[in-house]
Chain A
Amino acid sequence: MINRTITDRDGVKRYLITLNVNGDARTVLVKGNAILANVLRDDFNLTGTKKGCELGDCGSCTVLLDGTPVDSCMVLAVDADGHDITTIEGVAVNSKLDDIQQAMINYAGIQCGYCSPGMVLSAKALLTRNPHPTEPEVREAISGNLCRCTGYVHIVEAVLAASQGKLVPGEHEYPREEGGSI
């Protein structure tokens, strides 16, 4: 549903599109080859959407397009016209963290944090469609999000914990004394 186009003096056509980002209608003029990740980051300053490869490999730029996780570096902005987009900035409501965010913090599912926004959104989409996933289902749901720091161990644990409403790990899991086994 492209509404309007404008052609500049060099003959480059631009499209006027409206994206519903985190509940706000945002209108912007983009070139036909503009990717959604860049529009979110550069036009709307929503830099929580990360770029790690721009090839759809790493998943750092994951956003929800009408609730479905997509690599926003692989989506043309014009194709997102009129659609609902949730970025990481739209996950916490009125500064209250989502359960997944809280579990990711408490279970140390975050290290460098670069994959975390995409990871949270993929997990959020999973728990929305399947509130009580099994471990293999969690692993599958985040398999498009690469993490170089954690070996995914604490991320998987955090997503499962969030699905069970167990947002704070019990001390027994890592005994106060000296680490312990997992």
Chain B
Amino acid sequence: MSKQYSQIGHSAPRIDGPEKATGAAKYTLDLKFPNMLYGKILTSPHAHARIISIDTSEAEALPGVKAVITHKDVPTLKYGLSPARWDENIFCSDKTRFVGDKVAAVACVDEPTCYRALKLIKVEYEVLPAVLNFLTAMDEGQPLVHEEYANNINTEIHQEFGDVAKAFAEAYHVRTDTFIGQRTYQCPIEPHAAVSMWDNGKLTIYSSTQSPHYFQYYIAREFGMEMGDVRIIKTFVGGGFGGKLEPTGLEFAGTVLAKLTSRPVRMFYDRAEMFAHNRGRHAQQMEITTGVDKNGKILVAHANFKMDGGAYTSLGIASAYYAGALLPMTYEFDNFKFDMYRLYTNLPACGAQRGHGAPQPKYAFESHLDNVAKDLGMDPMDIRILNARRPDTVTPNDFKVNSCHMRECLERAREMSGWDEKKKNRVKGRGIGVSTGSFVTGAGYPIYRTDLPHASAFIRLNEDGTAATLYTGAVEIGQGSDTVLCQMAAEAMGYRYEQMKIVAADTETTPLDFGAYASRQTYMSGTAIKLAGEEIRKQIIDMASFMLSLPPEDLDVDNGVIFSKSRPDKTIAFEAVARKHFVLRGPMLGKGVYTPPRLGGSFKGAPVGTSPAYSFGAQVGEVQIDEETGEIKVLGIWDVHDCGKVINPRLLHGQVHGALFMGMGESVWEEVQFDDKGRILNAELANYKMLTAMDMPPIESEVLDSYEPSGPWGAKEVGEGSTNPTLGMFSNAIFDAMGVRVNSLPLTYEKVWRALKEKREAEAKAKADEAKPQAAAEYCQPAAPA
């Protein structure tokens, strides 16, 4: 069992709890500044259209309109994730590429005037044929979304590790399955918003952002400014889930509107505009082939994928690499081939959504693995335990795994869920499924090329020692980073969490941190903060040594008290020592910085998926299917995680619940649907169908006693990894219940009902014609993607 600590390992209440519970917490849309204007963006009503002309004169003449801007008023520099694929402009100049593409913007005295002004902007379009199906986007004769990208190929990946051909040749059983994953959207409840303002050549933007640093970098680059002249301040953020990791038109257009009017400009996306901006999960076609030996040991896997990138790169090139990179993580095999095309279409761009790139491939692989187990007559749990990754191993694509309790997660989930019992005593219409997941604990490399450290922090003691303030660029978006980082700071200092204050995520007052993505805050920011806290601890002990006339080696500090290790009666309060330090030596500061070690291989794309540590987890779910209607009732979900040392148990389990909730929505309900003109059919929450409190099944969440040697106090990730097993788990539970597989997400009641109907019809036909073998009915064809 791991060591007891006074500040970490406890469910401290959130540091921002009272503000959020009373409505005092200010989100970007709650901010008001004197003389503030309101801005809105005009977007394309066509999926693909040439812009013939834009006439803003009527809009400009409307009383209350203070500025109208188009592509002529903004830099023409393209932006995006990687220099090779900078493909997006602030405003479209030649053509628009999806319904929602940015065309113009206005700043007005109030929002109603903005909406009237937008209607007065006359844009003449020549509508072009659009690319709406990513599966045919590469075909000859298809229109091009971007003229400079032939065959609509945004990204092409071909990776091969080990001897794939030999392993397939030697395999006892080879099987191929194809699955379809749908487009989903992050759906934070808080809309994107930004308030931009200028003062003497300095730009300040309050934003609902997951990374003030990246916003600062991108905006400075776009406008040719020094980074030091751009200040990004994160307000309270009402959820991100990947969708708030890159700047939007709100920051870019807001910057220009604020400059032109010399007034603060507040902008936001309403719910339909959020859906149109999107950057959600890519729709994907996933063909998986594996070869196994006669015991079910995986020898080789080939992932052959296509993904719908939408109109721009966004963060999607990383999603494309992640889709394959994390596949060989939970199971050990040496031979792996990954082919991927990320294709441009005239639909909103896709990007990073919780579990970045990994959940759908995991769904495909885990569903496929159950098919393989069935072919071999194996229990799905047994084939997973047989193949489970072990600690201190290296994946075929050169990811080094330290701590890993994959096998124990599966064994514990088997026990908790009553797997063996339920497999033995079958109930009609009921099924149980298992799946695994894993995720990075922070990305090994930054989003843009830089040698800057990934995280840094400092801690300042108040002069009388009654408070300590943590300054960090880490980004609280709801996951609880402000709370756990203060717990970690207090633990490292020997101080008390209750006396911690925090200043975070403001590029001018807090030190660099890359922000909230890739599950990195607890580990990477936490490592920097631990070092900062240890600098304070050392100074406190030095001063206490002077005050108590005891050698520093004999002293320790915990929970705000400095004590002698040899003479327990000798103690002194932290506050007294801190005050004395200030009087004699001046302000007490501690600082820390974190840069990951050099990680990964040297092949093309090797950096994506690298991480100093990986989480592991297993989920089991039990469902009851109504054969008449296809309705899926979830009887229970059991989740077991290996996430290293737990800093705050209650917040950690909250992450598991939220990830599972999101995964469950993606499994059964959620899908962004388009009409034949590329317009979103369900750009609102009622028909996008997020789960309500009444839809959530009982969840049992458990963590293993685990220790990651490279992490602060042994911690590693949890927030995204818990989404990865969920889709496959549902797929497998439904398969177990029905005996037929629905091969496309979401696994809706309708698809389940159709699969059952086809099964019944096939069985009836087989009965009628007894000459034919019955096995043909075992696997139904994939349902047509919606």
Chain A residues with CB under 8 Å of chain B are 41, 45-55, 57-58, 60, 87-89, 91-92, 97, 101-102, 104-108, 110-117, 120, 136, 138-140, 142-156, 169, 171, 174-182
Task: Identify A151's interface contact among B19, B190, B657, CB under 8 A.
Answer: B657
Closest to B188 in A: A148
Interchain CB contact under 8 A, B657 and A101: no
Interchain CB contact under 8 A, A113 and B236: yes
A145 smallest CB distance to B (angstroms): 8
CA distance A151 to B692 in the complex (A): 8
- Binding stretch for chain A, among B101-109, B386-394, B474-482, B569-577: B474-482
Instruction: Collect the chain B residues with CB atoms within 8 Å of residue A105's CB.
Output: 13-14, 17-18, 21
Knowing A114-B190, A116-B20, A146-B685, say if A152 contacts B696 (CB, 8 Å).
yes
26 contacts between A and B (CB under 8 A): A47-B23, A52-B271, A52-B685, A55-B684, A55-B686, A57-B685, A101-B22, A110-B14, A112-B190, A112-B239, A114-B238, A139-B693, A142-B693, A143-B694, A144-B692, A145-B693, A146-B692, A148-B187, A149-B478, A150-B654, A151-B657, A174-B11, A174-B650, A176-B9, A178-B704, A179-B703
Main secondary structure of the interface of A (DSSP, over half): loop
Task: Identify A150's interface contact among B237, B658, B700, CB under 8 A.
Answer: B658
Instruction: Collect the chain A residues with CB atoms within 8 Å of residue B701's CB.
Output: 181-182
Instruction: Collect the chain A residues with CB atoms within 8 Å of residue B29's CB.
Output: 51
Instruction: Collect the chain B residues with CB atoms within 8 Å of residue A108's CB.
Output: 11, 13-14, 480, 650-651, 654
Instruction: Collect the chain B residues with CB atoms within 8 Å of residue A52's CB.
Output: 189-191, 238, 271, 685
Instruction: Collect the chain B residues with CB atoms within 8 Å of residue A97's CB.
Output: 18, 21-22
Instruction: Collect the chain B residues with CB atoms within 8 Å of residue A155's CB.
Output: 693
Chain B residues with CB under 8 Å of chain A are 1-2, 4, 9-11, 13-14, 16-27, 29-30, 32, 186-191, 236-239, 241, 270-271, 416, 477-480, 645-646, 649-654, 657-658, 660-662, 684-686, 690, 692-694, 696, 699-706
Task: Identify A50's interface contact among B238, B478, B657, CB under 8 A.
Answer: B238
Closest to B657 in A: A151
CA distance A45 to B26 in the complex (A): 11
Query: Most chain-A Cβ atoms within 10 A of its Cβ — which of B477, B653, B684?
Result: B653
Interchain CB contact under 8 A, B9 and A113: no
Knowing A52-B189, A58-B685, say if A111 contacts B480 (CB, 8 Å).
yes
Interchain CB contact under 8 A, B657 and A58: no
Instruction: Collect the chain B residues with CB atoms within 8 Å of residue A115's CB.
Output: 189
Closest to B652 in A: A179
Q: Can you name 9 extra interface pairs (CB under 8 A) apart from A114-B190, A152-B692?
A: A50-B190, A97-B22, A105-B21, A108-B11, A112-B239, A151-B660, A151-B699, A177-B9, A178-B705
Interchain CB contact under 8 A, A60 and B646: no
Interchain CB contact under 8 A, B693 and A113: no
CA distance A139 to B692 in the complex (A): 8
CA distance A175 to B9 in the complex (A): 9
Instruction: Collect the chain A residues with CB atoms within 8 Å of residue B661's CB.
Output: 150-152
Closest to A154 in B: B654
Interchain CB contact under 8 A, A106 and B13: yes
Question: How many A-B pairs fall under 8 Å by CB?
Answer: 212
CA distance A73 to B150 in the complex (A): 47
Instruction: Collect the chain B residues with CB atoms within 8 Å of residue A114's CB.
Output: 27, 188-190, 238-239, 478
Closest 10 CB pairs of A and B: A48-B23, A112-B478, A114-B238, A113-B20, A151-B661, A88-B23, A105-B17, A151-B657, A47-B30, A57-B685
A53 smallest CB distance to B (angstroms): 4
CA distance A139 to B25 in the complex (A): 25
Query: Most chain-B Cβ atoms within 10 A of its Cβ — which of A88, A104, A107, A147?
Result: A147
Query: Most chain-B Cβ atoms within 10 A of its Cβ — which of A105, A138, A145, A180?
Result: A105
Interchain CB contact under 8 A, A91 and B22: yes
A154 smallest CB distance to B (angstroms): 6
Instruction: Collect the chain A residues with CB atoms within 8 Å of residue B693's CB.
Output: 138-140, 142-143, 145, 147, 152, 155-156
Closest to B650 in A: A108
Interchain CB contact under 8 A, B23 and A110: no
Instruction: Collect the chain B residues with CB atoms within 8 Å of residue A120's CB.
Output: 21
Task: Identify B685's interface contact among A55, A113, A149, A150, CB under 8 A.
Answer: A55
Interchain CB contact under 8 A, B702 and A181: yes
CA distance A171 to B569 in the complex (A): 29
CA distance A102 to B14 in the complex (A): 11
Instruction: Collect the chain B residues with CB atoms within 8 Å of residue A41's CB.
Output: 30
CA distance A148 to B20 in the complex (A): 15
Interchain CB contact under 8 A, A104 and B21: yes
Closest to A55 in B: B684
Closest to B31 in A: A47
Instruction: Collect the chain A residues with CB atoms within 8 Å of residue B660's CB.
Output: 151
B717 smallest CB distance to A (angstroms): 14
Closest to A122 in B: B693
Interchain CB contact under 8 A, A92 and B22: yes
CA distance A149 to B691 in the complex (A): 11
CA distance A57 to B689 in the complex (A): 10
B522 smallest CB distance to A (angstroms): 14
Knowing A52-B271, A111-B478, say if A177 contacts B705 (CB, 8 Å).
yes
Interchain CB contact under 8 A, A153 and B239: no
Closest to A52 in B: B189
Instruction: Collect the chain A residues with CB atoms within 8 Å of residue B19's CB.
Output: 113
Closest to A87 in B: B23
CA distance A155 to B478 in the complex (A): 14
CA distance A49 to B30 in the complex (A): 10
B521 smallest CB distance to A (angstroms): 14
Knowing A111-B480, A112-B237, A112-B238, say if A60 contacts B21 (CB, 8 Å).
no
A153 smallest CB distance to B (angstroms): 4
Instruction: Collect the chain B residues with CB atoms within 8 Å of residue A51's CB.
Output: 29, 191
Closest to B699 in A: A153
Query: Most chain-B Cβ atoms within 10 A of its Cβ — which of A48, A87, A113, A175?
Result: A113
Interchain CB contact under 8 A, B649 and A180: yes
Closest to B700 in A: A181
Interchain CB contact under 8 A, A177 and B1: yes
Instruction: Collect the chain B residues with CB atoms within 8 Å of residue A136's CB.
Output: 694
Interchain CB contact under 8 A, B22 and A178: no
B511 smallest CB distance to A (angstroms): 24
Instruction: Collect the chain A residues with CB atoms within 8 Å of residue B25's CB.
Output: 113
CA distance A123 to B271 in the complex (A): 25
CA distance A146 to B695 in the complex (A): 11
Instruction: Collect the chain A residues with CB atoms within 8 Å of residue B702's CB.
Output: 179-181
